[in-house]
Structure formats: C-alpha cells, structure tokens
C-alpha cells in the first residue's frame, strides 16, 4: 500500500519538473518533498525520478508508475467525496400501478429528490394486488394501489372512473361469445370484468391477455375485444366507450404509508394532490 502523501509528492515533482516548484505547490520545504520521494522509491523498489535531468523527469520505471499513482490519487478523492456526500444514503421504497406513473407524478418524484438529496427513491411499478402484498410484507414504505374498497389504514383514497372500451373503429355488435382483452390472472380489472359479464349472462372467451396496460390498450385499439379499464388510462389510444354495458362502479385508488411524519409524509401529501386532480378530471 503506497502512502497517498508520497504519491502526491511524486506526481507534483513530475508535473512541475522541479523539486522547488513542487514543494511550493504543496506548501512544504524542498527537503521534505525530497524525503517523501525517497520513501516512495524505497517502497517501490525503483528509482522513479532522474534528479540530474533539467527539468526533472521520471525514469522509465517512474513513467510506468506515474499512471498508477494518478489513478490511486483519483480513487482516493472519489472515495472521500462519496463518504462526505450524503446523497442517496437513505431510501424510500414506493410501489405504484403502471398507469399512475404519469408525467405529473414523475415530476413530484424529481422535485422531491432535488430537495432531499440524502434520500434515494426506489420506485417499482406493478399490479395492485402484488403491490399490496409487498407493502404489507414491509417491502415498500409507500404504496398506491387500486382496490374495490379502501382499507381502514389508508392515508387517502380517491374514486377512479371505470368503463368498458372497444376499438374506435369497431362496427356493429360484438359476436357471441364476446372476445375479451384482459390482464393476467390475479389482475383486479380482470376479475371485475368477468363478474360483470357473468351477471349479464353472456358467453365470453379471452382473446388477448396482456402483461401491461399499454399492451391491453393496444389490443383493444386493434379490435381484438372488449376490456374494462380506467377512463384515465385511455387518452391517446383509438378506443371508445362501449355504451351497451353502461357504467361501472369506480375503483378506489388508495395511498398507504407506514410513516406519518417526516419526508415520507411530505411525499405522500404531494402524491395525493396529483391523484386527487387525476381522479377529479377523469370522473367528470
């Protein structure tokens, strides 16, 4: 292990081409910097500087060693900076449904991260039931989930308008059995969709199962079948509400958080503001 002080003396001598100038740059005497170079050469087992040259130059061994010396000093400075910078030393783990990760919500995360550099946001998007399970298991500090009814320990809840959608280019009535576009088993919308179809005593089959909201909407847009979806998620897709099925009860979009004070609570409040505006806009 080479003493960084000795490496610094060596690189300063090479850069300055002079023991005197190097000593001045490091605020030490010429004898001290000469002693430090001698100690480094003893540790390295090689002469590193040609003292007779004018200006002073590294020897062949010194040239090979110089790159390593600079890298060691750079790494030392990076390690010192990393230990002295609190950025990212704490984390807030967030679970959130895919369609809730809007530009407005992402801006909330970005603004929070800028104001709290010591906190790292770990955001995971997924299906609500999986997010709920992982939140209850302590894997998330904050979770936004969709559910038929809000739990008693939620921090806030908002109604999300639901409706049936088909392709904007569809013509006439759907065939019997009705083709459905659904999420994978366990998805909240999937089960609500089946319950409604069966209440209507209609026959159905799964024409397409998508693992993401985008995939489901693209399949509906292409005319593969009907799907029950949040109205807020359909903007920008060529789909339209399937009026024969009328309206559906809203889903609850709920926020859960373990902490009620501190930065996490501040973040929950701002996330709630975005959700309130989103649900109010699409519920009209």
Quick one: pLDDT band at residue 85, thresholds 50, 70, 90? low
pLDDT of residue 26: 86
E strand or H helix at 240: strand 239-241
33 close to 15: Cβ distance less than 8 angstroms: no
- CATH 3.40.190.10 for domain 160-250: yes
Domain ranges for the chain, please list them.
4-84, 90-158+252-282, 160-250
> Do the domains spanning 4-84 and 160-250 agree at the CATH topology level?
no
Over residues 111-136, the pLDDT tens digits come to 998 888 888 899 999 888 899 999 99
Over residues 172-204, the pLDDT tens digits come to 778 889 999 998 887 778 888 888 888 888 899
Q: Is the backbone peptide bond immediately before 272 cis, with ω within 30 degrees of 0?
A: no
Can you tell me the mean pLDDT for 23-47?
90
pLDDT of residue 37: 92
Over residues 222-265, the pLDDT tens digits come to 999 999 998 888 888 999 999 888 888 899 999 999 888 788 88
Strands (E), 48-133: 49-50, 57-58, 90-97, 119-126
Residue 122 β-bridge partners: 93
Can you tell me the mean pLDDT for 21-37?
89
**Residue in this structure with the two tokens 């308008």, named with its chain if needed:** 161
Mean pLDDT, rounded, of the chain = 88
pLDDT of residue 199: 87
Residue 81, pLDDT above cutoff 80 = no
CATH of domain 4-84: 1.10.10.10
CA-to-CA distance for 110 and 105, rounded, in angstroms?
Answer: 9
277 close to 100: Cβ distance less than 8 angstroms: no
Nearest C-alpha neighbor of 211 from the set 234, 232, 186: 186
Contacts (Cβ under 8 Å, ≥6 apart) of 73: 4, 7, 8, 11
CATH number of the domain at 90-158+252-282, out of 3.40.50.300, 3.40.190.10, 1.10.150.120, 3.40.190.80? 3.40.190.10
CA-to-CA distance for 62 and 77, rounded, in angstroms?
Answer: 22
pLDDT of residue 156: 93
162 close to 227: Cβ distance less than 8 angstroms: no
Write the Ramachandran bin of 88: left for phi over 0, alpha for psi from -120 to 50, otherwise beta: left
Quick one: pLDDT band at residue 96, thresholds 50, 70, 90? very high
34 close to 48: Cβ distance less than 8 angstroms: no
CA-to-CA distance for 189 and 23, rounded, in angstroms?
Answer: 73
């Amino acid at each position: 292990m080479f003493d960084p002080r000795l490496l610094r003396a060596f690189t300063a001598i090479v850069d300055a081409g002079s023991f005197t100038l190097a000593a001045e740059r490091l605020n030490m005497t010429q004898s001290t910097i000469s002693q430090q170079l001698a100690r480094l050469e003893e540790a390295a087992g090689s002469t590193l500087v040609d003292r007779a040259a004018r200006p002073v130059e590294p020897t062949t061994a010194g040239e090979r060693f110089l790159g390593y010396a600079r890298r060691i000093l750079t790494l030392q400075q990076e390690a010192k900076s990393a230990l002295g910078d609190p950025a990212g030393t704490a984390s807030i783990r967030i679970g959130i449904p895919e369609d809730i990760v809007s530009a407005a919500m992402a801006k909330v995360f970005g603004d929070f991260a800028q104001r709290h550099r010591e906190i790292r946001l770990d955001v995971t998007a997924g299906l609500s039931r999986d997010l709920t399970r992982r939140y209850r298991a302590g894997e998330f500090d904050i979770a936004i989930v969709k559910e038929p009814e809000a739990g008693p320990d939620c921090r806030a809840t908002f109604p999300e308008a639901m409706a049936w959608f088909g392709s904007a280019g569809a013509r006439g009535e759907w065939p019997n059995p009705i083709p459905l576009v659904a999420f994978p088993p366990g998805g909240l919308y999937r089960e609500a969709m089946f319950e409604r179809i069966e209440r209507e005593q209609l026959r159905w089959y799964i024409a397409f199962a998508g693992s993401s909201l985008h995939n489901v909407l693209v399949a509906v847009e292409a005319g593969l079948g009907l799907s029950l979806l949040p109205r807020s998620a359909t903007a920008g897709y060529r789909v339209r509400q399937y009026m024969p099925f009328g309206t559906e009860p809203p889903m609850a979009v709920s926020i859960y958080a373990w902490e009620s004070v501190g930065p996490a609570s501040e973040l929950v409040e701002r996330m709630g503001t975005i959700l309130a505006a989103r649900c109010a806009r699409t519920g009209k």
